[in-house]
Structure 1
Amino acid sequence: MTLRGTVMPQLKRTNRNISSRKKEDDSSWSKAMKSAYAAIFDPTQATVAMVLLLLAEAFLNVFIIRAVKYTEIDWVAYMQEVEGVINGTYDYTLLKGDTGPLVYPGGFVCVYTVLYYLTDLGTNIRLAQYIYMFFYLLTIILVFNIYRKVCKLPPWALVFICAISYRVHSIYVLRLFNDPVAMIFLYSAVNCFLYDRWLAGCVLYSLGVSVKMNILLFAPGLLVLLLKRHNLSTTFLLLSVCALIQVSLGAPFLIENPVGYIMGAFNLGRQFLFKWTVNWRFLSEEIFGSRYFHVSLLAGHLTTLWIFYQARWREIFNFSNIFNSKKKEGVISANDIVRTLFVSNFIGICFSRSLHYQFYVWYFHTLHYLVWDINLPSIYKMLILGTIEMCWNTYPSTVVSSAALHCCHLVILLGLLMSGREPTPETKKE
C-alpha cells in the first residue's frame, strides 16, 4: 500500500472527528446561549433569578441595618400601646402612644405584643430591625412565588421588585411600620388561593385585616373570586370565618367597650394630616379635609369598581347567577386570581383619601404585575415604575410629584381596563 493510500483515510477520519467535535461545541454553545437567554427573558424560567435576588437582598438588608441610621417614627408608640394592654387596659379609648390613640384592630395588638417581648420590652431596636429583615425576605419569597405561578414578568424585571426601591427598604428595616406585617398575611393568603386553599386563604386574609384595615381594599376582588370558585352557601361560610376571626381577636376590647373598639380600630372616617400626604399635595388643605371631597372619592372608587366588574370581572363571574341552584363551582386561573385581587386593591389606592409614605408597601409589590398586564413596550413600563418610585421618594411631596403619581395611576388604570384577558381552561372549552 502506498503512503497516499495509508494517509488519506486517516485524514478523512480526523476531519470527520474535528467536524463532529465542532458541531458538538456549536450545539453546546447554542444550548448555553438559549439557557442564558431564557434565564433573563423567559417568565417560566425565573426561579434561578429569584434565588439569586433573594440572596442579594439578604446581604443588602444587613448592610442597610448596619450602615444606615435608624429613624424613630412609630415603633415606640406601638410599644406604648401594647404595653397599655399588657398592663390590663382593654378600653380602646384609653390606649395611646406618643403619636396618638391606638387605631389598629386586635390582631395588631397580638402581633406587637409578641414583638414587645422578643425585643426586650421594645427597647432592642437592632433586634427589631433584624426581625423586620426577616419580614422583608418572607414578603419577597411570597411575592416571587406569586410571580412564578402567573409567569407574567421576565426574570430581568424581577430586580425592580426588590433591589432598587430605597423607600420600601426604609419602611421595613429603618422605620419598623406595621404595614409590612399586614401585607405578609395578604400575600400568604394570595398564595393559598393560587393553590386552591380557600379556607386557609380567608383565615390569613382576615388576620391581615386585623393588623391594618388597608387589606380591605382587596375585598371586592376577593368576593368576586369566592363567588366564582364556590356556591353562595360556601362563600357565606368563608366570609363568616373571616368575621369570626375579627370578633375573636377583638373580644377583650369588645367586652370592655364595644363602641370604643369599633370606632377606634375600624374608623373609616379618620382624618389624615395634610403635611404627610403623598398623593394630594396639589390640592389646598381645605379641599383635602373636605367631607364633600371624601364622598366624591368614595363615589369614584365604587363607580370604578363597577366599571371593572362590567368590563373585566364579569367574564370571571356573573352576579346574575348568584342564586342559581345548578351553578357549579368554577376553576379560576392563576392570572385571574392575581389580576382580580391586585386590580381591586389598586383601584382603592387610586381613590385613597391620603397616601402616606409607609403606604407604598400597600401596592409596591403588585405594581410590576399590573404594569406588565397592560399593552405597552417595556421601556414605557419601566418609565412608569421609575416615575412612581421617584414620586414616593420625594420628601416632602410637591405639587409636581403628587400630580405625576396620579398621572401614572391613571395610565395603569386605563391600560388595565383596555387590556385583554388571557384564555383560561374554562374559556378554552367554550
Structure 2
Amino acid sequence: MALTAKSFVYDVLTNPQHTRWIAPLLILGDALLCALVIWKITYTEIDWSTYMQQVSLYISGERDYPLIKGSTGPLVYPAAHVYIYTLLYHLTDEGRDILLGQALFALLYLATLAVVVACYRQTGAPPYLFPLLALSKRLHSIFVLRMFNDGVAAFAMWLAIYLCLRRSWTAGIAVWSFGVAIKMTLVLLVPAIAVIILLSLGLVRSISLGAMAVLIQVLLAVPFLQTNATGYLSRAFELSRQFLFKWTVNWRFVGEETFLSREFSVGLIVLHISLLAIFFRNWVKPSGSNMVRFLEDTLQGRQKTVPLSKSFTMTVMLSSLAIGLLCARSLHYQFFAYLAWATPFLLWRAGIHPVLIYAIWALQEWAWNVFPSTNASSAVVVLSLAVQVFGVLFNGSSEVDKKSDKGSSRSKATVQK
C-alpha cells in the first residue's frame, strides 16, 4: 500500500498528463490569492498616477513626446503603452478608481498565468514545476499592487511565445512587436526570434516577418512621429539613459564607482554578445550544420527549413531573455515580471534536481523582495540568473534539439502560418 501511494505521488509530480487537472486548480487558487492580496494589502503608489498624468496630456492633444510628463518624470515608454493606459484611464475614472484598476490587473495577471501554464503544458514540463508559477510575492505585487506596464508587456511576451510554440508565426511576431511597443525589454528576445524563424521558415519569410514587426512599430507611433520623430525615438527607445545606483537590484555588490564606470558598461555589452555567440552555436544545431555554415547557407538561400520541438523553441526564447537580464546594467524590481515565470522552466531545462530547483527559486524570490537591495541580495539575483543561463548552456541547450516534447499535453503536426 505504501509503495502504491508513493508511486501515485511520484506519478502526480512527474507525469505531464496530470497538468490537465492541475492547471485549472492552480489558476483558481491564484485567483483567490489575488483577491486576498487586494483585500488585505494596501495599494502602493509608484507610477500609476504618473501614467495617468501623462495620458491626460495625450488625451488633451499633446503629441510631442518630450513634452509628455508626469510627477515622477517624462514619458519613456513607446506608443502602445500610451494607448493601453489611455484605455485604463477611461475605465478607471481618470485613474481615480484604484480598486477597479487593481481588479483589472488581477485579471491580466491570471490571463498571463493561464498562457504561461499553456506554454509549460505544450512543452511537457513536469507538474512539480507548476506551484512555483503561482507563489511569487514580488510578481503579485508588480501586477496587483503597483499596476506597472511590465505586467502588460509580460502578457504580450508569453502570448507571443505561446503562438510561436503553436507555429502561428505571423500572429506571434505581431504580438511580440506590440509588446516591444509597450516596453523595450522585449527586444531581448530578438536573437532567439531571429534564429527560430530562420530555422523554421527560411530567409525570405523571416525578412517579411521582420519587416512586419518594424511596420507595426511605425504604425503605432505615427501620431508622435509626425509631430517630433526624433523626440519620440529618443524617449521611447532611449539607449543612453543614465542608471541610478540606488535603484539597482542586480549589481549593487560591485560598488557605485564600478557600477557607474564606462568600463563596466562596456564589459557587460561584451559579455552579452559573447554569450549570445556561444549559445548561437547550440541554437543552430537542428540545422545539422555549424554556425558559419548555417549563416552561409541561409544567406545563399540553401538552408532548408527544419521542424523545431516546442521545448527547443521555448528554451531558446527564454534563454535569450535570461542572457539579456544577466547582462543588464541595472534591473529594477518590476523586471521580475519577465523573469519569474521563466525561471522554473530554465532550471528544469538545465537538468537541475527538483529539490535544488525549489531552493534556487526560493533564493531568487527572496533576493527580489529585499528592499532596498543589499550586497547579498544583489549577488543572489546575479548568481541565480547565472545558474539559469549556464545551466541551460551546459545541459539544456546542447541536448534540447535531440529531445521531443514527450509527455506534452497534445502533439500537433507542424503548421506554418
Query: Would you call these one fold, judging by a TM-score over 0.5?
Result: yes
Larger relative CO (CA 8 A, sep 6+): 1 or 2?
Answer: 2
Separation in 2 of the partners of 1:284 and 1:418?
Answer: 30
Residue pair 1:85, 1:95 contacting (<8 A) in 2 also: yes
Q: Identify the match of residue 169 of structure 1 among 140, 145, 150.
A: 140
Of stretches 137-146 and 275-284 in structure 1, the one that deviates more from structure 2 is 275-284
Separation in 1 of the partners of 2:368 and 2:5?
Answer: 40
SS at match of 1:84: helix
Matched, 1:372 2:342: no
User: CA 1:314–1:85 in structure 2 vs 1: closer, same or farther (change >3 Å)?
Assistant: same
Shift of 1:403: 1.3
Mapping of 1:354-373 within 5 angstroms? 354-373=330-349
Identity of matched residues, %: 38
Q: Once the two structures are superposed, what CA deviation does each residue of 1:17-55 show, in whole Å capped at 9, x if it has no partner?
A: xxxxxxxxx9xx999986654333212321211111110
Separation in 2 of the partners of 1:328 and 1:212?
Answer: 34
Separation in 2 of the partners of 1:326 and 1:403?
Answer: 46
Of stretches 374-383 and 319-328 in structure 1, the one that deviates more from structure 2 is 319-328
Letter in 1 for 2:263: Y
Shift of 1:416: 1.2
SS at match of 2:251: coil
Shift of 1:377: 2.0
Q: Identify the match of residue 175 of structure 2 among 204, 209, 212.
A: 204
Q: Once the two structures are superposed, what CA deviation does each residue of 1:324-379 show, in whole Å capped at 9, x if it has no partner?
A: 43433221110111000000000000000101111111211000000011133222
Residue pair 1:281, 1:399 contacting (<8 A) in 2 also: yes
Mapping of 1:59-208 within 5 angstroms? 59-152=32-125, 154-162=126-134, 164-208=135-179
Matched, 1:288 2:259: yes
Q: Once the two structures are superposed, what CA deviation does each residue of 1:53-85 show, in whole Å capped at 9, x if it has no partner?
A: 110011110111011100100000011111111
Match of 2:221 in 1: 250
Matched, 1:314 2:267: no
Q: Which runs of 5+ in 1 are unaligned?
A: 1-25
Shift of 1:118: 0.6
How many residues align? The count is: 396
Shift of 1:319: 2.0
Separation in 1 of the partners of 2:234 and 2:146?
Answer: 27
Shift of 1:194: 1.0
Matched, 1:335 2:307: no
Matched, 1:278 2:256: no
Of stretches 380-389 and 38-47 in structure 1, the one that deviates more from structure 2 is 38-47
Separation in 2 of the partners of 1:210 and 1:119?
Answer: 23
Give the TM-score, by structure 1 length: 0.88
User: CA 1:35–1:400 in structure 2 vs 1: closer, same or farther (change >3 Å)?
Assistant: closer
SS at match of 1:203: helix
User: CA 1:375–1:259 in structure 2 vs 1: closer, same or farther (change >3 Å)?
Assistant: same
Separation in 2 of the partners of 1:403 and 1:233?
Answer: 44
Match of 2:360 in 1: 384
Match of 2:383 in 1: 407
Max Rg structure: 1
Q: Once the two structures are superposed, what CA deviation does each residue of 1:252-278 show, in whole Å capped at 9, x if it has no partner?
A: 111100100000000012122211111
Match of 2:325 in 1: 349
Separation in 2 of the partners of 1:111 and 1:36?
Answer: 44
Residue pair 2:164, 2:172 contacting (<8 A) in 1 also: yes
Residue pair 1:39, 1:48 contacting (<8 A) in 2 also: no
Match of 2:412 in 1: none
Shift of 1:283: 2.5
Letter in 2 for 1:343: S
Residue pair 2:160, 2:175 contacting (<8 A) in 1 also: yes
Shift of 1:117: 0.4
Separation in 2 of the partners of 1:102 and 1:359?
Answer: 18
SS at match of 1:421: helix
User: CA 1:403–1:171 in structure 2 vs 1: closer, same or farther (change >3 Å)?
Assistant: same
Shift of 1:401: 1.1
Match of 2:233 in 1: 262
SS at match of 2:181: helix
Letter in 2 for 1:214: T
User: CA 1:409–1:326 in structure 2 vs 1: closer, same or farther (change >3 Å)?
Assistant: closer
Residue pair 1:189, 1:205 contacting (<8 A) in 2 also: yes
Separation in 1 of the partners of 2:68 and 2:387?
Answer: 42
Q: Identify the match of residue 209 of structure 2 among 238, 241, 252.
A: 238
Separation in 2 of the partners of 1:372 and 1:425?
Answer: 15
Query: How large is the Cα RMSD of the aligned pairs?
Result: 1.9
Separation in 2 of the partners of 1:50 and 1:187?
Answer: 16
Q: Identify the match of residue 199 of structure 2 among 214, 224, 228.
A: 228
User: CA 1:304–1:327 in structure 2 vs 1: closer, same or farther (change >3 Å)?
Assistant: closer
User: CA 1:234–1:403 in structure 2 vs 1: closer, same or farther (change >3 Å)?
Assistant: same
Shift of 1:382: 1.6
Separation in 2 of the partners of 1:187 and 1:410?
Answer: 22
Shift of 1:212: 0.1
Letter in 2 for 1:381: I
Shift of 1:414: 2.0
Matched, 1:421 2:407: no
Match of 1:9 in 2: none
Shift of 1:157: 2.4
